[in-house]
Amino acid sequence: MKKPGIAEVARIAGVSTTTVSRVINEVSTVSDDNRRRVLEAVKKTKYRPNPSAQHLASGKANTVGLIIPRFEGVFHSYYALQVIKGIGLAAERIHCDLLLHITDGRTAPSPAAVDGLLFIDVYGCEELLDRTLDEGLPTMVVNHYLEDLPVSCVAVDNKTAAERVVDYLARLGHREIATITGDLKTQAGLDRLDGFVNALKARQLPCKDAYLRYGDFGLSSARAATEVLLALPDRPTAIFVASDDMALECINVALAKGLRVPEELSVVGFDDNPIAAHARIPLTTVRQPLSEMGRRGFELLHQQMKGKKQTPTKLLLPTELVERQSCRQTWLER
């Protein structure tokens, strides 16, 4: 049986196909009487508009370009998948399509193909973001707080999170606290280091250069940094590690060297990746609201696309410290 078309709806309603199209696309210039007749005809015929035709008629693609800076293992990254999950669920609720674009910062979707762009971080995409803002396309950034640019952004409060980790370890009696950073080219990696150092200084705890080891969110960097820290004559009693994957690798190295965790070494991660709760030694970590960050970023972008939000919105989302079995009080004397 042939599906009813727009011409059939127009014939039954006694109006033109243009009027039917305007009603379907919610154009306000249609009279109440014509709108009623068209809606009755749509119901009678069980007409279902063609989404592509709707987009063409409205001049809107109903599509958001999702810009992801290219990095190794992007589709195996808990962080990336959780952010995309939040964005995807929010887009599904309003029947909006997502155009995924992984880039080295030089390419982006055609402005004609999307109604807005959502950047998942801007590392390596700074010039692309500037071009997008110059073109006036609705734009949103998540996972990077941009205080000085006229663009809306939603990020995690990494500095405060790191400060709270230091507070927590200090309450357990730790004074010799080290850190293994993430990639300091990213805002998240840099802010976690800044928060850590600031907290040590504010609490008059030792801030030794030897205790600051620089990683890149990769396992090999975590392994190498842990080897160095545990070989120190005055090795730390606690290590704050910039991601859960790195923290679990840190624990593996410690256990392989015969150290007991948490009795001789406390370890704190960052992310609350599901593997953290089910590891051999369940990991104390910082839970960051990744899905919420994605959802709120998309919702704010959608407001821009609808013309409802002109002044940039800038949000920092709080984190939560999740206590498990990888930390304990220390009475080790130096």
pLDDT digits (tens, 9 = 90+) for 227-279: 999 999 999 999 999 999 999 999 999 999 999 999 999 999 999 999 999 99
Q: Decide if pLDDT at 2 tops 70.
A: no
Task: State if pTM tops 0.85.
Answer: no
At 285, is the secondary structure helix, strand, or coil?
strand
Instruction: Give the chain's mean pLDDT.
Output: 90
Residues 4, 223: Cα–Cα separation, whole Å: 64
User: Could you give phi then psi for residue 205, rounded to 5 degrees?
Assistant: -95, 155
CA distances from 230 to 7, 75, 107 (A): 77, 32, 44
- pLDDT digits over 147-204, tens only? 989 999 999 999 999 999 999 999 999 999 999 999 999 999 999 999 999 999 999 9
Where is pLDDT greater, at 269 or 16?
Answer: 269
Which pair of structure tokens corresponds to residue 286? Answer: 């910082």
Residues 330, 334: Cα–Cα separation, whole Å: 11
130 alpha carbon, distance to own chain's centre: 20
**CA angle, 110 as apex, 311 and 74 as ends, to 5°?**
85
Nearest Cα neighbor of 248 from 224, 220, 232, 267 is 267
Report the topology of domain 6-58.
434 Repressor (Amino-terminal Domain) (1.10.260)
pLDDT of residue 332: 52
Sequence ranges of the domains in the chain: 6-58, 63-156+290-318, 158-288
The owner of tokens 């410290």 is 321
Q: Is the dihedral of CA 126, 130, 133, 135 positive or negative?
A: negative
Mean pLDDT, residues 69-94? 85
pLDDT of residue 113: 86
Q: What percent of the chain has pLDDT over 90?
A: 64
pLDDT of residue 5: 82
Q: Decide if pLDDT at 46 tops 90.
A: no
The owner of tokens 């839970």 is 287
pLDDT of residue 296: 97
Mean pLDDT, residues 49-57? 54
CATH superfamily, with its number, for domain 158-288: Response regulator (3.40.50.2300)
pLDDT of residue 4: 75
Which pair of structure tokens corresponds to residue 243? Answer: 């991601």
Q: Decide if pLDDT at 3 tops 80.
A: no
pLDDT of residue 56: 46
Residues 83, 164: Cα–Cα separation, whole Å: 23
CA distances from 68 to 16, 110, 141 (A): 44, 15, 11
Nearest Cα neighbor of 80 from 257, 205, 217 is 217
pLDDT of residue 253: 98
pLDDT band at 45 (very low <50, low <70, confident <90, very high): confident
258 alpha carbon, distance to own chain's centre: 37
pLDDT of residue 23: 83
CATH for the 63-156+290-318 domain, from 1.10.1840.10, 3.90.1150.10, 3.40.50.2300, 3.40.225.10: 3.40.50.2300
b/e 147-159 (16+ beta carbons within 10 angstroms → b) = eebebbbbbbbbb
Contact 292, 272 (CB under 8 A): no
- pLDDT digits over 113-140, tens only? 899 999 999 888 999 999 888 888 999 9
Nearest Cα neighbor of 180 from 210, 153, 140, 149 is 210
Same fold, 63-156+290-318 and 158-288: yes
pLDDT of residue 158: 98
Where is pLDDT greater, at 93 or 112?
Answer: 93
Which pair of structure tokens corresponds to residue 334? Answer: 């130096």
